[in-house]
Amino acid sequence: MFKVVAHGDDMGNNYVDNLAKIAHTDQDRYIVFQQNACMMKVLPCWNGIVIENKLRSFLKNICNYKGLEKFINLTRNSKYRTLEVDWTSTFSCLNCDINNNETSVSSSKMKAQKVHLLIEEIPTIEQMKKSLLALYDGWMCLICGLQDETFNHVWTCSGHYDIINNIRDKTINHLLTWILDYNDNIQDFNALMALNI
């Protein structure tokens, strides 16, 4: 076996990829290897247990769970071990701009930005000091000049007050619009308007 570069337009890889896509939609749980007139059926197993659902979705789930486990076990992400996070919704938000079977550079960049927000590692001055202390030593927030520019300060800085309020108001308006689109019988929005977001 040897590694083939993804999307390299290799004839054999394209053929196998096409077979995998066909098998993904096939309801039969067997893998069928065909060569000339010979057919052999095998039952895929994992840790000695027969895999009874679609093999491709099973492998996808295993990879997702292993990736999530690696992510949560990083020291910087230890807080997520105690928080009740809806990971299904979180991953939906991270991947919402593109279909599951597509890739794009712009989507990858957007996903990276979302992950940086999630792990609170946006390029603040305090974050930049970790790698370039000699350059950024003594720098404060560029907007207010009064405090260190940490992740939390970006959202609470007095210089960002108008921008944050504008984002909050637009978010509430979008929520109201979506609620009315879903159910136009709702008349009382006081609870939503009272949210301190």
Q: How far apart are CA 41 and CA 32, in angstroms?
A: 5
pLDDT in tens, 144-156: 989 999 999 998 9
What's the confidence (pLDDT) of residue 37? 43
Q: Kindly list the distances between the CA atom of residue 66 and the CA atoms of 18, 52, 54, 61, 62, in Å, as whole numbers in the listed order.
A: 26, 20, 19, 9, 6
Q: Which two tokens stand for residue 183?
A: 């159910």
pLDDT in tens, 34-83: 555 455 566 788 888 888 888 888 888 888 888 889 988 988 888 888 88
Question: Among residues of the chain, what percentage have pLDDT more than 70?
Answer: 80
Give every CB contact of residue 143 below 8 A, 6+ residues apart in sequence.
157, 159, 160
170: left (phi over 0), alpha (psi -120 to 50) or beta: alpha
pTM of the predicted protein model? 0.55
Q: Pick the residue with more confidence: 163 or 102?
A: 163
DSSP 29: -
* Domains in the chain: boundaries: 1-65, 83-119, 125-193
Asked if pLDDT for residue 31 goes beyond 70, the answer is no
Asked if pLDDT for residue 101 goes beyond 90, the answer is no
3-state secondary structure 142-174: CCCCCCCCCHHHHHHCHHHHHHHHHHHHHHHHH
pLDDT in tens, 120-137: 888 899 999 988 999 999
